[in-house]
Amino acid sequence: MALPTMTGVGRLTNDPELRFTPNGKAVASVPLAFNSRKLNRQTQEWEDGDVLYVRGSAWERLAENLVETLAKGMEVIVTGELRTESWEKDGQKHERTALLIRSIAPSLVFATAKVTKVTTGQNGGQGGGQARGQAQQRRPQQSRPTQPPADDPWAIDNARGHSDEPPF
């Protein structure tokens, strides 16, 4: 039976943390909070309802990209599979709900974002990417390749200034 999937709008309760497994795969830990806010019609003020705290995890390129992009307090749209993590510590069993993140992005309701396509050479190697101190700056990369990748379906034909072929 498949794990239940969830799509929701939440907030990061802390900066995501990037670690690497012993074999070099990137994994990010993302603390999320989902809450139900309601407008109180009598006071005309927003009131917080129930809150669901979930520890999300993302792997490989997604992990590296989200650590470079997201920060504490950001509202995000996230999709993933819910699961239960279990462990034993000091003889006691513990469990918590977790989210295996398949897709995550900043919500554009209260923010803007600049999307930069990651090419195979950028941020894709095991153990690659920027150091954590640089990642905390959360600045988009300013350098752009002079030529688009050969396999880019949206690339413009420089000789004619456009492409006659649809990218699909």
pLDDT tens-digit readout, 40-84: 889 988 888 889 899 999 999 999 999 999 999 999 999 999 998
Is position 63 within any domain? yes
| Domain annotation covers residue 164 | no
Assigned domain for 30 exists: yes
| Domain-located, residue 156 | no
CATH assignment at residue 11? 2.40.50.140
Q: How many domains does the chain have?
A: 1
Q: Tell whether 42 is covered by a domain.
A: yes
Which domain does 52 fall in, by range?
5-135
pTM for this model (two decimals): 0.64
Please check whether residue 146 lies inside any domain of the structure: no
- 158 belongs to a structural domain: no
pLDDT tops 90 at residue 135: no
**d(C-alpha 44, C-alpha 12), whole Å:** 27
Q: Is residue 159 part of a domain?
A: no
Q: Where are the beta strands (DSSP E) in the chain?
A: 5-12, 17-20, 26-40, 45-59, 75-89, 92-106
Residue 37 phi, psi dihedral angles, 5° rounding = -95, 140
Work out the mean pLDDT of the chain and round it to a whole number.
78
Contact between residue 1 and residue 73 where contact means Cβ atoms under 8 Å apart: no
More confidently predicted of 24 and 117: 24
